[in-house]
Each structure stands twice: as structure tokens, then as C-alpha cells.
Structure 1
Amino acid sequence: MLKESTAFSGFAVKDLQEARRFYGEVLGVTVEDGAMGMLVLRLGGGRPVLVYPKPDHEPAGFTILNFPVADVEAAVVALRDQGVVFEHYEGTPVETDELGVFRGGGPLIAWFTDPSGNILSVIEDEGPA
């Protein structure tokens, strides 16, 4: 029944204006005004991701949005130049290097958070699935 659906995703933030600035100005994502006071992030191919306000928002303990990139190291450096701070994990199964890149198997990945504490990543694009 749902296999032909054009599904989309969404997540909460504490402050929409802060999210608009971060996603639009820092990350360079197209941000539009959506219905009912929400924001719409337009990602590759125009796929929408809804961002909605939730004043008592508590971020999830997992990655909510992954950005596939051709070169993770270059993306980390470029985002750091925009003020993005990358997470560093030590002594765990996902230990990261000095750049914040996990190199322990699978695609290269580096995690960071938005102003609401939502976990995001840049992940090596391994091409068509």
C-alpha cells in the first residue's frame, strides 16, 4: 500500500529561527517556510525534510540526518571553517580521529550537532545503492 508513497522525514528543534540560520547559512541547505509554522529543508533532488518547533525538545541519542558527501575530510574542514564543531568519541567502538572522522570500518563518517543538539553527520557517499 505505501510502496508508491513519497514519504518524507521531519524532526524537532527548540528554536526555528536558530535552525533557519544554522541550516541555511552555516550548512548551505535551501530552507523554505512550510505550513503551520514549520520549516522545510530541500535536500538533494528537492526531497523535503520538515523542521518543527518544540520548546521542550530533547534531542535523540542517534543521528537524525546524514549528508552524503564525496570527501568527508574536505566537508569537515569546510564546515569547521563555518563554525561547526565536530564530535570526538574516544574509547568507544566509534572512536574518531583528530578531525572527528570515524575510520573504524564502513564509510567514513563525522558527527556534529545542530543548535538544538540534534545529531547530524557527513558520511562518505558510496555511490548508487
Structure 2
Amino acid sequence: MLQEFPMYAYIPAKDLARARQFYETKLGLKPKEEVNGGVVYEFSRGTACFLYPTPNAGTSKASQAFWSVDDVDRLIEALKAKGVVFEDYDLPGEKSKAGAISAGGAKAAWFKDSEGNIMALIQQL
């Protein structure tokens, strides 16, 4: 039933201005609109996320959202050049030169945003 509808990610921010600076400067996102005290960013294939203020940002120990990408290593290098710091998790699998881990049919890398949320880049292999 619910698979008939689009699904969107919520990204919590303790400091919305700081979070916008991170997402718009370091990740290069362009806001679609400001609504209900937050900001909407659109992505490929009709997907989007809503960055919103809350004191609960950064409290999850799991990934908040992920981008399905075609070349994780290339994006790691590009984002590192903009100051994004990637996490170094001790996980099973083969680690690429750029730091991505390949296991279970996917190649993945994780970073934290300015609010402490864990975000991921996932490439299907």
C-alpha cells in the first residue's frame, strides 16, 4: 500500500543556520523552498528531504539517510576536498583507497553532518 507513494527523509538540525551552511556549502545542495521553519532539498527521481530544527538532532547512532550513487570513491574525494570528514568504521569487507567499504553487494561510506547526523553514500555493486 505505502509503496505506491513517494517517501522523504527528515534530517534534524539543532542549529538550522549551521546545518544549511554545511548542506549548501560542503555538499552543494540547493534549497527548493523554506517551509514550516525548515528547508526542503530536492534530489533525483522525485525524492527530497526536509531539514528541520529540533533539539534531538544527532542522537541516532544509525544512518539518518543515504544517497544511492554511481561512484562512491569519486564522491568521497570530491567531498573531502570541500572539508567533509568521513567516518572510519571497523566493519568487515574490503576497504578502497578512498575509504569506502565493499561488502554484501554494495560499497559504502559514512560521514556526519554539522549536527552529528550520520549520512551515507551507497553504491550497488
User: TM-score range, shorter-chain basis?
Assistant: 0.7 to 0.9
Cα distance in 1 between the residues matched to 2:100 and 2:3: 35
Matching of residue 103 in structure 1 with residue 115 in structure 2: no
Residue of structure 1 equivalent to 2:20: 20
**CA spacing shift, 1:95–1:16, aligned 2, 3 Å:** farther
1:4 Cα deviation after fit: 3.7
Residue of structure 1 equivalent to 2:118: 119
1:19-38 alignment runs, 5 A limit: 19-38=19-38
Cα distance in 2 between the residues matched to 1:125 and 1:95: 14
Residue of structure 2 equivalent to 1:75: 75
1:62 Cα deviation after fit: 0.9
1:92-115 Cα distance to aligned partner (Å, 9 max, x none): 446855633112332110000101
**CA spacing shift, 1:113–1:79, aligned 2, 3 Å:** same
Normalised to the residue count of structure 2, the TM-score between the two structures is 0.83
Cα distance in 1 between the residues matched to 2:55 and 2:94: 32
* One-letter amino acid matched to 1:31: P
Give the unaligned 5+ runs of structure 2.
none
Residue of structure 1 equivalent to 2:10: 10
Alignment partner of 2:119: what SS?
A: strand
Question: Is residue 33–residue 39 contact of structure 2 (8 Å, CA) maintained in 1?
Answer: yes
1:45 Cα deviation after fit: 3.0
The structure showing larger relative contact order (alpha-carbon pairs under 8 Å, at least 6 residues apart) is: 2
Give the unaligned 5+ runs of structure 1.
none
Cα distance in 2 between the residues matched to 1:104 and 1:4: 30
Q: How many pairs were matched up?
A: 125
* One-letter amino acid matched to 2:68: P
* One-letter amino acid matched to 2:50: L
Higher strand share: 2
1:48 Cα deviation after fit: 2.2
**CA spacing shift, 1:45–1:59, aligned 2, 3 Å:** same
1:55 Cα deviation after fit: 2.8
1:25 Cα deviation after fit: 1.5
